[in-house]
Structure 1
């Protein structure tokens, strides 16, 4: 199962050249760019770990791509995404977010159905990867 989350998630994985073009697009608009990673990509897990600090004052996407390469060397077996934030209104607004690296094996999610009183039906998702301890969710998969 392929995780679909953020921009471009229904497309084939972006090449580094395409990632660089999107990062440059964000930089040209004055957006702060950051790199995040996780091994729990549940849709409600919006707090991924940050790789370093957001990049505010760069003019060239090469700096972000160097950080991305460093993150991939350490966490290449996890999900890594690039996000861009716009602070022009006086607060941070997410403008762009997309996954740039995925584990080789994505086990996916199960859908759970719970029936309550009357006609109440609730659905929830559960990540198969979360059954393993943090840091080992994609090891050897």
Structure 2
């Protein structure tokens, strides 16, 4: 099962050259880029681990790509994503987010629907490895 979260998730995985182009797009708009990683891609797991701090003053995509490479070395079987932050409103808002690394084998996430009182439905997700 392919995890589909963030921009570009329905496309084939981006190459490093394509990732660099997206980072240059973000930096060209003065957005800061942050790197996050997780081994648990559950849809409700929105708090991934940060890899260092967001790179607020960076002007060159090479620095972001170096951080990605270090994160890949430390966590080769993790999901890694980039978040681009826009501070135009005076606080950091995630403007763009996309996955840049996936494990070789992705887990299956099954949705379980349960009917409850009346016409209500409850949904739960089960992670299968």
The TM-score bracket by the shorter chain reads over 0.9
Q: 1-side partners of 2:44 and 2:26: how far apart?
A: 25
What displacement does 1:76 show?
1.2
The runs of at least 4 aligned residues of structure 1 exceeding 4 Å deviation read: none
**Unpaired segments of 5 or more residues in structure 1?**
130-141
Q: Distance in 2 between matches of 1:58 and 1:117?
A: 54
**TM-score by structure 1 length?**
0.88
Q: Distance in 2 between matches of 1:47 and 1:58?
A: 24
Following the alignment from structure 2 to structure 1, what is the Cα–Cα distance between the partners of residues 76 and 10? 21
Trace 1:63-78 onto structure 2 (pairs within 5 A).
63-78=63-78
Unpaired segments ≥5 residues, structure 2: none
**CA-atom RMSD in angstroms:** 0.9
Per-residue deviation, 1:59: 1.1
Structure-2-length-normalised TM-score: 0.96
* Map 1:1-141 → 2, pairs under 5 A: 1-129=1-129
Please state how far the C-alpha of 1:28 moved relative to its aligned partner: 0.8
User: How many pairs does the alignment contain?
Assistant: 129
Q: CA deviation at 1:118?
A: 2.1
